[in-house]
Structure 1
Amino acid sequence: MKPSTSRMLNRVKSVYMYINERGTVTTDQLVDEFGMTQRTVQRDLNVLVYNDLVESPSRGRWTTTEKKVKLTS
Structure 2
Amino acid sequence: MNRSTSRMLDRVKAVYLFIKEKGTVTTTEIAEEFGTTDRTVQRDLNVLAYNGLVTSPSRGQWTITKKRVKIS
The percentage of counterpart residues that share the same residue type is: 67
Alignment-derived partner of residue 62 in structure 1: 62
- Which 5+ residue runs of structure 1 have no aligned equivalent? none
Is 2:25 aligned against 1:25?
yes
Deviation at 1:71, TM superposition (A): 0.4
Alignment-derived partner of residue 44 in structure 2: 44
Mapped partners of 1:37, 1:28: distance in 2: 8
- The amino acid that maps onto 1:14 is A
Query: Per-residue displacement from partner, 1:16-66 (whole Å, max 9, x unpaired)?
Result: 000001111011100110010111000000000000000000001000000
Helix, strand or coil: the match of 1:62?
Answer: strand
Mapped partners of 2:47, 2:21: distance in 1: 19
Helix, strand or coil: the match of 1:56?
Answer: strand
Tell me how large the CA RMSD over aligned residues is. Answer: 0.4
Mapped partners of 1:6, 1:30: distance in 2: 19
Mapped partners of 2:32, 2:38: distance in 1: 10
Alignment-derived partner of residue 12 in structure 1: 12
- The amino acid that maps onto 1:17 is L
Helix, strand or coil: the match of 1:57?
Answer: strand
